[in-house]
Structure 1
Amino acid sequence: MADWHWQTWQGQEFLTCELLRPWPHGFFTRQFWPQPPADLVAALREEATVQRVKQVHGNRVLTPAALPQDNRPVAMAEADGLVSDRPGQALWVCSADCSPVLIGDRATGQVSAIHAGWRGTAQAIVPVAVGQLQAHGSRLEDLVVAIGPAIAGAVYQVSVEVAATVGRTLIAEAPDDDAALIAQLQTWENSPVLSDQTPGKARLDVRLANVWQLVQLGLSPNQVAVAPHCTFQEPGRFFSYRRTGEKQVQWSGIVSDHSGSC
């Protein structure tokens, strides 16, 4: 299991992952709200150029070259992931209960930042981002992935239909019946789907669904780390839309290197 560490900036803590140590990166907490990435980038690398998108719960992944030159909020492209195309780019995503996913390529220094809620995960946004990295020369064996603080499966109640929609990305020949699919997934060790006492409901761990997608792509489990923090269960550190219904977020970012020295 990869080590996670708290770092201090401006008297507040943000989280880093040992797997991503070669890259300036961080999963920021609610204490930094409402500072935008333009302010938070100084905690990582002050001179890095800030890149972000308007998140829409899809699976579109862009490079900064595809973004509007005027990157004000009104001009931001709609997407839920970014892949760097040159060094010194700080890629940012925001989340409350959804999974912030940061990826680094140890051979090229290239990085990706992804917002993966259940909708994006059902559309395989993380494999889409990996595919874009591969299109730019990455090899699966060189990638490392950190999945930041998000809502834990034990407390994330969803409909059976939602759980089955995500589950179908994990089973090549999935049964048509949602209940049968859920039952099959629940037999797995470290399953992303847990039982729920309420009829028609299940518990879904979106973080683990993304881990399974990555492993099925060909990454080894030791290339992927999941933060041991739940946004819903740690109100002192994290915003949670499921807990409060308020549209407040924490930011996660990573700075590209592209030198091939990571």
Structure 2
Amino acid sequence: MIASVSDLRQTQNTAWQWQTWQDLPYLTCNLLSPWPHGFFTRSFYPHAPQDLTPILSSDAEVYRVKQVHGNCVLTPKEIEQAQSEPLEHDYPPADGIITTQTNQAIWVASADCTPLLIGDVKTGYTSAIHAGWRGTAQKIVPQAISRFLNFGSRLEDLRVGMGPAINGTVYQVTNTVAREIGASLMMDTSDDILTALENMPDSPLLSDAFPGRVRIDVRRVNFLQLRQLGIESEQIAIAPYCTYQQPDYFFSFRRTKEKKVQWSGIVSV
């Protein structure tokens, strides 16, 4: 049974803790306590992963990718292999990383899109995912889970933290975009996708006053994708913070149109 939004809200606030480093705030998630990790705020800008990793681990290897709003998930070894060849950018194109060894710090950037950090309590392996609406529509999170399973993980051993992102109540999109996102949840797309989304319990779809537009909770869609895979709601925590509505803590591209980001990272153990 999928947990209701009201049930989730009762547990989410207790699942998240504010931490500080040199008086700068960042978030941690209780579900991810076995791993050094953090969902960092705008206060750490413009520090990059190389600067932030020592806050989590003194000697971890640092990995990041060139985020392109897709569904590719790479291992550190695959990142290193790609960097051995000429690249258009310094990092290979992808929107997720999954570790296969210990002491690997992996990072994603976000400024409205959903940052997800995932850990396996048995293997210690981790994943960091950048899930914007396009990546969500392309099922990047199920793609990451598939890689976990290929590396020997079990669904019941995974823990997922979704960091601060834009809230569905303020995320207006076209009906076309909503259908693309919603199709990721549909086994049968013969019926109208928007109607099917509206009829779902605790629907991620919200109405909007503008014709041809709706509002959608992308984190809720990612939650439902995880639930469809068989991951229990108790294994998932969603941060009760909105990047758009809380400018003191978070950058929001939709709010300011500035290309500034906050980083989220986790270290495999």
Please indicate the TM-score interval, normalised by the length of the shorter structure: over 0.9
Residue 132 (structure 1) aligned with residue 144 (structure 2): no
Query: Retained in 2: the 8 A contact 1:68–1:75?
Result: no
**Cα distance in structure 1, aligned partners of 2:215 and 2:58:** 40
SS in 1 for 2:209: coil
Partner letter of residue 172 of structure 2? Q
* 1:73 shift after superposition: 9.1
Q: Distance in 1 between matches of 2:148 and 2:108?
A: 17
1:78 alignment partner in structure 2: 93
Which of 249, 254, 257 in structure 1 is aligned with 2:261?
A: 249
**What per-residue deviation string (whole Å, max 9, x for no partner) do you get for residues 43-80 of structure 1?**
11121111000000000000000113659993311000
- d(CA) in 1 for partners of 2:201, 2:53: 39
**Matches of 2:89 and 2:244, distance apart in 1:** 30
User: Unpaired segments of 5 or more residues in structure 2?
Assistant: 1-10
Write out aligned runs for 1:1-262 (5 A).
Answer: 1-2=11-12, 3-68=15-80, 74-175=89-190, 180-257=192-269
Q: CA deviation at 1:219?
A: 0.4
Verify the 8 A CA contact 1:86 1:110 in the aligned structure 2. Answer: yes
* 1:54/1:73 contact within 8 Å kept: no
For the aligned residue pairs, the C-alpha RMSD in angstroms reads 1.4
CA distance in 2, matches of 1:114, 1:233: 22
The 8 Å contact of residues 186 and 195 in structure 1, kept in 2 or not, is answered as no
Count of residues paired in the alignment: 254
**Residues 18, 26 of structure 2: 8 Å contact kept:** yes
Any unmatched runs of 5+ in structure 1? 258-262
Q: State the one-letter code of the partner of 1:228.
A: P
Counterpart of 1:232 in 2: which secondary structure? coil
Structure in which a larger fraction of residues adopt helix: 2
SS at match of 1:108: coil
Report the secondary structure of 1:54's partner residue: coil
Deviations 1:134-186 (A, max 9, x none): 0000000100100000000000000001011110111111235xxx3212212
Matched to 2:151, the amino acid is H
CA distance in 1 between partners of 2:193 and 2:89 (Å): 41
Amino acid in structure 1 at the alignment position of 2:119: G
Determine the C-alpha separation between the residues in 1 that align with 2:89 and 2:214. 38
Indicate conservation of the 8 Å contact 1:68/1:76, yes or no. Answer: no
In structure 1, what is the Cα distance between the partners aligned to 2:171 and 2:203?
14
Rounded to whole Å, the distance in 2 between the matches of 1:68 and 1:75 is: 11
Runs of 4+ in 1 over 4 A off after TM superposition: 69-73
Task: Report the Cα offset of residue 247 of structure 1.
Answer: 0.3
